[in-house]
Structures are given as structure tokens and as C-alpha cells.
Amino acid sequence: MTEPLRLGIAGLGTVGTGVVKIVRQKANLLAARAGRPVVISAISARTRDKDRGVSLSDYAWEDDPVALATRDDVDLFIELMGGSDGPAKAATEAAIAAGKDVVTANKAMLAHHGQALAAAAESAGRVLRYEAAVAGGIPVIKALTEGLAGNDITRVMGVMNGTCNYILTRMQSAGLPYDEVFEEANQLGYLEADPTLDVGGIDAGHKLALLASIAFGTQVDFDSVELEGIEKVTIADIRHAADMGYRIKLLGVAQMTGRGLEQRMSPCLVPADSPLGQLEGGTNMVVLEGDMVEQIVLRGPGAGEGPTASAVMGDVMDIARGCRLSTFGAPAAGLQQARPARAATPAPFYLRMSLDDKPGALAKVAAVLGEAGISIDRMRQYRHDDTIAPVLIVTHKTTRNALDGALDAMSRLDVMGETPVALRIETV
């Protein structure tokens, strides 16, 4: 009989419990598809006696995840604890040093330490896989490393944080302000313990950095991702965008240009009738563009027990079958550090501002834009009180650098009621 693949699982939260359930409930299916049994040897978590809705009595327990990672009866270490450093990183490094393969769902750890961990794993002849770290149940890592391996990838784009998409689409459908929907999402348990990881774009930025590394054959460089969260998006922005045929999404975009690697995660306007514009609730979507395949759209649940555990098991099954790939699609030792570049591709922008309601205010704004070489495509002024006039401007295509120069000049005008909000209008 073929030897079983023996798992050690560290972290028994939502995802870890889901993995245990799959291994227990689908043992025959997994064995048939892998050509060998897949079993759990030992587990570890912060709390031993918690009721997780599944029996754990068949497995050895380790209080220390590092001890779990180095057990003789563990072939594959599954890290589901989370956190960029601390026990997750220590246990992953220990597993690699002990000759174990590793599967993780930890995007933060990989975004910050992925290059070093990949180099360590590959030099030791080990495999480090992380399908569950990006876009939940969507097999986007596999698509890039395997299905699209014959393509030069030209652009990676997507909605990669279900919480932000829930907040923005809920504001749209219910006509509710940001603060109210944020609190609703918090009550539903959608937000991280530190909400800025979600609404600040950090969680999605981690994912974008991983996809960019695979797509463009570079070292992971999260520090160069331009991050802007959704905190400044108002219900007025949602309504104005809808009036013009757009939806607002927290959109990640990565592309290699002659200037270097652009990586940005920011709220953007996208056409309402596009696949991204129609994306509702907590669903994720990743758009991959290659020179041979043109455009592929992958859509699915971005979080949750079943979808994320499914992604973990996809990696487990690859290892059980003997599929051994480089962590980022090419040997880590050959990956170069990309030159970071700020987005220079021209695009139209949406500008929302409040001006003092006095003669010449709008002319001053138009003059600043003109001096920056930015022309106005559309402009609307909405009902207002006696002192402040809300104004909406859509520019023709311009660069972000030119726009930032104009915004800086506007801040020095004596007619601005508040700092303008500027959102890119993205072609998808």
C-alpha cells in the first residue's frame, strides 16, 4: 500500500477546522484522487478545549506549533495561524529546516517574508504552497503558475477583499453611509480585529504583491504597493458614480511598464456593466491578461470556511500527487527585485470637492487644472446651502502625478471647503 501523506495542522480557526472536516469527511475521495491516503497526525492551536464542531480526539496535540512542525510523523505542515511574524513564521521556518513541505493561507507572512521563505524551501528541496492566501476559493495561483505559464502576463487586476466589496455594494444597494455599513460589517464579523487591514487596503495589497511576483517573475515587494483605502468614499460618491454609469470598487492593479513595476490598490470607478462592476457582496474577482490568452476572469468566494479550506486542500492534493513547483512559478534564486514605479498610465479621474459659494471659485479650480495640463470632460454642481457648493468634475485622461500637482495647488486656494476626493476611472 502507498504510504499516506501525514498532515500537521497549526491553527484551528475557521479555515483549520474546515480542513479537518474535509480530511475526515472525504477520506475515500482524497485517497482515490491522490493515489494515496491523506491523514492528519497532529494538530496545534491556542485553545485546546474549545468546541470546534468536529472531533479532534484522533490526533496528537502540540501546544507549540514549532514542535508540531518538526514531528517525525508529519510530512506536510499546514500553517493556518496567521500573522506576518511570530509563531507562524517561526513554525514555517522550523518545518522547512526539518525537511517538511508547507502549505499556508498566510498572505501577510508571504508578502513580507515570501522571498526568504521560498529560497529556504527550494534550497532544501521542499515545496511552499499558498493558494488559500489569495482570493479564497478562486484557484488564481494555480492559474498563473500552471495554466498561463506559456503567457507573458501584461496585467493583473481584481477585487481581492470581500469585506470592502460588501461595504461598497451595501452602500450602493441600501443607500446607507459608510460609517453605518462599516458598523454593520463589524457586527456581522466581516472585519479583521484591526479593521484597517481590510478598509485600508492592506489585506488586499498583500494579495496583489503575491500575484505580481508570480505574474512578472519578480521578488515579492509589498512595500512598493501604493495603498489607498475606502474610508473617504461617501454615499455621495456612490450615487455620483452610479449617475455616470460606474460603480466604485477597491481595485488592485499590477503591470510591468518600461519605468518598472506598478502595483496599486485603491478605490476606482469601473463601468457598471463590466464583470467587476457587477460584482456584489463578499465575492472576489481576479482578471488576468496575457499575450496569448488575452483576458481571463476568475470569480468566486473570497473567504469562509469551505472556500478557503478547499484552496488549502488543493495544495495538499498537489503535494500528495508529487507535483512540486517553485513557490512563485520560477526558482526563487533567479527572481530579481523589480524597480518600483508609480502608476504613469494616463486615465480619467473623478474629483469631488466643496467650494465656497462665491463668485470666481470654480474659475480658480479650472485654472489650476488647466495649468497642470488637465482638461475637464464633465462637471456638475449640486444643490447646496448658502455657503458651500458641492462640485463634481470628471477629467480627461491625465497622469496621477499631474493630478497630485493640481490637488496640491488647490489646497492653497482660498475657496476650498474641504480636501478634494480623487478616484481613478479604470478601463477594465
Q: Cα dihedral sign for 300, 288, 426, 228?
A: positive
DSSP letter for each residue of 37-58 = -EEEEEEE-S-SS---SS--TT
Selected catalytic residue, list 89, 100, 107, 207: 207
Give the burial class of 2: count Cβ atoms within 10 A of its Cβ; 0-12 exposed, 13-18 middle, 19 or more buried.
exposed
> Does the active-site annotation cover 397?
no
CA–CA separation, 292 and 148 (whole Å): 9
CA–CA separation, 412 and 419 (whole Å): 10
What's the longest Cα–Cα distance across the chain? Answer: 87
Q: What angle do CA 37, 42, 48 make, to 5 degrees?
A: 140
CA–CA separation, 134 and 203 (whole Å): 10
Task: For residue 103, give Cα distances in angstroms to 6, 29, 33, 81, 91.
Answer: 13, 20, 19, 12, 12
Given a contact cutoff of 8 angstroms between Cβ atoms, the answer to whether 354 and 390 are in contact is yes
CA–CA separation, 313 and 319 (whole Å): 10
Comparing C-alpha atoms, which of 64, 62, 82 is closest to residue 16? 82
Give the burial class of 25: count Cβ atoms within 10 A of its Cβ; 0-12 exposed, 13-18 middle, 19 or more buried.
exposed
Given a contact cutoff of 8 angstroms between Cβ atoms, the answer to whether 392 and 379 are in contact is yes
**304 three-state secondary structure:** coil
Q: What angle do CA 118, 205, 19 make, to 5 degrees?
A: 60
Comparing C-alpha atoms, which of 6, 118, 2 is closest to residue 69? 6
Q: What is the grid cell recorded at 231?
A: 474610508
* Helix segments in 124-232, DSSP class H: 140-142, 162-174, 178-187, 196-199, 202-216
| Catalytic residue ranges | 207
